[in-house]
Amino acid sequence: MPTEPRVSPALVAEIQAAGLDPGRWPVVLETIRATFGGVTMQMSGFDLFNGTAHSGIGVGYDPDFIASFDRYYGRINPFAFGDPPIGRTFALDQVVPHDVILGTEFWADWLRPQEDLSAGGGLLLPAGPGRIVSFGGGIRRRDQDALEGPFLELIEAIRPLVAQAIATNEALSALRLEACLLRQGVEPVGAAVLVLGKDRRLLSLNGRAEDLIADRRVMILGAGGRVGLSDSRADSRLEGCMQGRTGLGELHFTDRDGTGVTGHVVRVDGRVADLIPFPKSVFAAPPVFVLVITSDLAAGDPVALIARKTGLTRSEAAIALAIAEGASPAEIAGQRGRSLHTIKNQLQAVYEKTGSHRQADLVRLVERIRRGG
C-alpha cells in the first residue's frame, strides 16, 4: 500500500506560524524547496473581481526572471488561462499539455531559459470573496520523473494546513479591519465592508458586500474592479470624499428598491497591509478608503431582510426567524394566533424553499443572513 508522505514537524510549525504572520510564508516556501533540489516555489493571489494578480513571493527564481514575469510574461502565462481545479492538487501538465506549452512564447522566452522549468504543480485555494491563492512550484523538465511525484504528494499532504493558514490570514485581517473601523466610531458588524484604492479599485470585501455587488441595488462594479454607488448623488459624494474635497463621513441615499442606505467612508493612511488579506492586491498602496454600507432594511426589519434574501413570504420569514431564535412550532402558533397544524405546514414550506433539510440548517441560514454574510 502507498504510504502518506512524511511532513516534517518543522514544516508544520512554519505553516502554522505563517497563518498568524504572513511574513513567514517565504520561510514555508524555502523549507519545501530545501526538500527537493531543483524546485522553485511561488505563492501569489488573483482577484476575480478586477482580473488582476496580487503581489506574490517566489523562492529559487533568478531576480531578473521575476522582474520580467511581473513586467510582461505573467500576462501571457498559458497556465493562468487553463482550468486548474480549485482546492485540489494538480500537475502543470494537467492544466496545459506539455506539447501545447512548447509552442508558446512563454515557454520559449521564459521557461526554457530557466532550464525548461515547465514541470511541477500545486494548489489553487479560495481565500475569501473574489480571491484565489496559488501555491506551488516549478520543476525542470529533466527532473520531472524523479521529483514531480514526491513533490505533489507533499503538497497534497500539507494542503489542509495551507488552506487553514490562508483562512487564518483572512480572519485576522478582518478582525484588524473591524478594530480600525471601531476606533473611528463606525460599527462594522452586519454591514457590507469594502476596502478601496484611491481610484475606487476594489482591494478586498466581506460576504455582505459581495452580495450587494451581485444584486446591483446599492452598488455596481465597473471596469477594472472599480466600485460605484447606484445613487448618482451619493456616488458623487463618495468621489468627493476620496478626492479630499468633501471630507469623510456619512452618505445617506436609497437603493433601487427605495430602501434607505447609510454609508461611512473612512480613510486609512497607515499600514494598510494589515487590513487586507495576504497576498495583498498590487494596488494596495496608502491611502485606502474603507466603505461601510448598512441597509436600513437589515438594521430595522430582519423579517423583511430574510424574506428578500430567501424568497419566503413575510409570514414564512417570521416563522424562520422565530425558529432561529429558539421558539418551538407550538410557541409560534400561540404567539401568532394560528393553529399548530398551520404553523407546521408553513414551516415545511420554509424548509423546502430554503433547501434546509433540518432545523440546524435553517438556523445557520438565518444567522448568516442576519450577520450580513
Q: Where are the domains of the chain?
A: 9-172, 185-295, 302-372
Grid coordinates standing for 342? Answer: 398551520
DSSP 204-257: EE-HHHHHHHHH-SSEEE-GGGBEEESSHHHHHHHHHHHTTSS-S-EEEEE-TT
Q: What is the mean pLDDT of each run of 10 residues along the chain (373 residues)?
A: 69 96 95 90 85 79 89 86 87 94 95 95 89 93 96 97 94 91 86 90 88 86 89 92 78 84 88 78 78 73 78 85 91 87 89 90 87 62
Distance CA 204, CA 191 (A): 14
Q: Where are the beta strands (DSSP E) in the chain?
A: 39-47, 52-53, 57-59, 90-91, 119-126, 131-139, 192-196, 202-205, 219-221, 227-229, 250-254, 260-268, 288-295
User: Residue 345: its pLDDT value, please?
Assistant: 86
10 Å Cβ neighbour count for 260?
14
Torsion of CA 324, 328, 332, 338, to 10 degrees: 140
pLDDT value of residue 117 = 94
Report the predicted TM-score, pTM, of the whole model to 2 decimal places.
0.75
CA 180 distance to own-chain centroid: 20
Q: Quote the pLDDT of residue 5.
A: 66
Instruction: Kindly state the helix (H) or strand (E) to which residue 321 belongs, with its residue range.
Output: helix 314-324
Beta bridge partners of 134: 44, 124
CA geometry: angle at 218 spanning 257 and 247, to 5°?
130
CATH class of 302-372: mainly alpha
9-172 to CATH, choices 3.30.450.80, 3.30.460.80, 3.10.180.10, 1.10.3720.10: 3.30.450.80
CATH superfamily of domain region 185-295 = PAS domain (3.30.450.20)
Same fold for the pair 185-295 and 302-372: no
